[in-house]
Structures are given as structure tokens and as C-alpha cells.
């Protein structure tokens, strides 16, 4: 595993939108008219140009978030990720988005204290193999995401109210059509982690968990009935999908986190094993 391979994975992430998202956008086109249809057409054209010219699909190349499985040294993997980000910032290029939160100073490399954001996932580690899922999360959608600590008796109705309130208040700011990642249970930080992890599941892959599936099926039409539409122009396609992950939690708590994701759901999987480096789409 070397930095140039991490940089190549980031280039693909930033320039080649996953097909499941693009297909869902194309399906939505037939349901829209007027300005909302034009907005969707521009988004789809832009996806094609970015792929063809190997250029980022949005000027906000996001905050990079890594979910890594590895059995070996985490320090070595972290060092390679940092070098890969530095290289990708110069070569893709990525907008230098990473700043000191207090002084707003920017080193220009998309690196900093406790950054990049790397989650080392314990399950599924095998021998010398490293697998990495990478997301680029834009600020427009991250800034309208929210976490809640509900009274447990608010139940499923309360969880749904959190989602609808978050999406309605966000309006056109997160560049709809959005994808909603919903994390329920665990703790404050675990619900937020699950909400983001939920966004990794493709829109054409149904969850095997019946509780999550029911919430996903019920929330999508409710969100779309808000009428926010593509880029906030009004219309049917406010969301392309809802993704739910949940965990058991303390009896006195009901943590809920809503990760709002713009249409540019940039995610990629990279693998390093005995046959070398490859990208999985």
C-alpha cells in the first residue's frame, strides 16, 4: 500500500460518482418539470463531464472520512493515508478545506490535528489485507446535519420527527436531492458514527434488518412530500433514499443522529491484498 494508490482512490472518489446515485437521479428526472427538471439535468451533465475529464464533480471536495479494516499496524496505514491526501490535494486537485477551528489558519494540505478522520473498524480484518471505504463530505450538507438526545418515550414517532424537522429546516442548503443517513441508539457519538456509516450502503442494496427497512420505506415518501425538490427549486425529488443503522442503547436514552448528504455522495472502496491494489465499485 502506498500514498500514490491512496491518492488514486481519492481521485476516483472525487471524479466518478457511484452509478447507483446517478441512476436514481436519472429516474427522478421524469417526475420533475420546469426549474427543478433543469437543475437535475445540470447535475447529471456535470457528473458526466467530471467523469470524462477526471476533474472533481464539485468545487467543495469535502472532508475526507475513512473507514479502514486492517490487521497490521494502524500507524503505518495512517501515515500512508496522510501522504496520500497531501498528494491528492496537489494532483487531483482537492480544495484545501482543512483549517484550525479557532484561528481558521489553513496549512493547505487537507491535514491537521486529529485530521484526517479515520475510523479503524475491527470486524472482518484478514491477514495482510487492508480495505478502505472513503467518503468526501461537503460542508453544505454536513452543516445542516443534526444530533438529538430524545426522551425514550418519544419512540419511533419522535425519531421520524427529528428527520423531518432536520430536512425541512435544511431546505435547499444541502444541494438536494439528498440522501439521509439515520443513526439511532448507542450514544451521542455512536449514533453520529452510525448515521454516516449508513450512507455507505448503495441505494440499490436493501438492508436485511426489518426495523431499518421499515423506517427507510416510511421516511422516504414523507421527506419527498416536503416538496423542497432538486436544488430547492420545488418538486418531488427532495431525497433519493434513506439509510438507517441502529444500536442498542441505555434504557434512559434515545440518541438520534441525522446525517444529511447532498446528491454528490462520493464514496469509494479500495482493497490491498496479495494480488495488489484495486478499486471496488
Binding residues for ligand SF4 (CB under 6 A) = 58, 60, 62, 138, 140-141, 174-175, 262, 264
Peptide bond into 116 cis (omega under 30): yes
SS3 state of residue 114? coil
CB of 249 to ligand SF4, least distance (A): 30
CB of 189 to ligand SF4, least distance (A): 23
Closer residue to ligand SF4, CB minimum distance, 138 or 235 = 138
Closer residue to ligand SF4, CB minimum distance, 88 or 130 = 88
Instruction: Count the residues in the chain.
Output: 281
What is the side-by-side order of every strand in the sheet holding 266-273?
117-120, 63-70, 130-137, 266-273, 276-280
Q: Supply φ then ψ for residue 76, to 5 degrees.
A: -65, -40
Closer residue to ligand SF4, CB minimum distance, 24 or 69 = 24
Q: Which residue is nearest to ligand SF4 (CB)?
A: 138
Cβ-based neighbours of 225, under 8 Å, separated by 6 or more: none
- Percent helix, strand and coil across the chain, each to the nearest 5: 40, 25, 35
Distances (CA, A) of 132 to 39, 129, 235, 262: 33, 10, 36, 22
Closer residue to ligand SF4, CB minimum distance, 5 or 60 = 60
CB of 100 to ligand SF4, least distance (A): 21
CB of 103 to ligand SF4, least distance (A): 24
Cβ-based neighbours of 123, under 8 Å, separated by 6 or more: 69
Closer residue to ligand SF4, CB minimum distance, 70 or 264 = 264
CB of 2 to ligand SF4, least distance (A): 28
CB of 149 to ligand SF4, least distance (A): 26
Closer residue to ligand SF4, CB minimum distance, 138 or 255 = 138
Taking the C-alpha atoms of residue 162 and residue 147, their distance in angstroms, rounded to an integer, is 9
Amino acid at each position: 500500500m502506498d500514498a500514490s494508490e491512496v491518492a488514486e482512490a481519492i481521485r476516483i472518489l472525487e471524479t466518478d460518482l457511484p452509478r447507483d446515485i446517478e441512476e436514481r437521479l436519472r429516474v427522478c428526472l421524469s417526475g420533475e418539470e420546469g426549474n427543478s427538471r433543469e437543475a437535475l439535468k445540470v447535475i447529471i451533465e456535470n457528473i458526466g463531464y467530471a467523469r470524462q475529464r477526471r476533474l472533481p464533480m464539485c468545487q467543495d471536495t469535502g472532508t475526507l472520512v475513512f473507514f479502514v479494516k486492517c490487521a497490521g499496524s494502524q500507524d503505518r496505514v495512517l501515515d500512508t493515508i496522510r501522504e496520500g491526501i497531501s498528494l491528492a490535494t496537489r494532483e487531483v486537485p482537492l480544495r484545501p478545506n482543512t483549517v484550525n477551528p479557532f484561528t481558521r489558519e489553513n496549512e493547505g494540505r487537507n491535514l491537521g490535528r486529529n485530521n484526517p478522520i479515520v475510523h479503524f473498524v475491527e470486524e472482518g480484518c484478514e491477514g495482510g489485507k487492508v480495505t478502505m471505504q472513503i467518503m468526501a463530505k461537503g460542508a453544505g450538507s454536513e452543516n445542516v446535519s443534526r444530533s438529538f438526545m430524545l426522551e425514550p418515550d418519544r419512540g419511533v414517532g419522535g425519531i421520524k420527527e427529528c428527520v423531518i424537522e432536520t430536512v425541512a429546516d435544511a431546505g435547499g442548503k444541502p444541494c438536494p436531492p439528498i440522501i439521509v443517513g439515520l443513526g439511532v441508539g448507542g450514544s451521542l457519538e455512536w449514533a453520529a458514527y452510525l448515521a454516516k456509516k449508513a450512507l455507505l450502503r448503495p441505494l440499490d442494496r436493501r438492508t436485511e434488518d426489518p426495523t431499518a427497512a421499515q423506517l427507510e420505506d416510511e421516511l422516504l415518501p414523507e421527506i419527498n412530500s416536503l416538496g423542497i425538490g432538486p436544488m430547492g427549486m420545488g418538486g418531488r425529488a427532495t431525497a433519493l433514499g434513506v439509510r438507517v443503522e441502529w444500536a442498542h442503547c441505555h434504557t434512559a436514552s434515545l440518541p438520534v443522529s441525522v446525517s444529511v448528504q447532498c446528491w454528490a455522495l462520493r464514496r469509494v472502496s479500495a482493497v490491498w491484498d496479495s494480488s495488489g491494489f484495486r478499486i471496488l465499485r
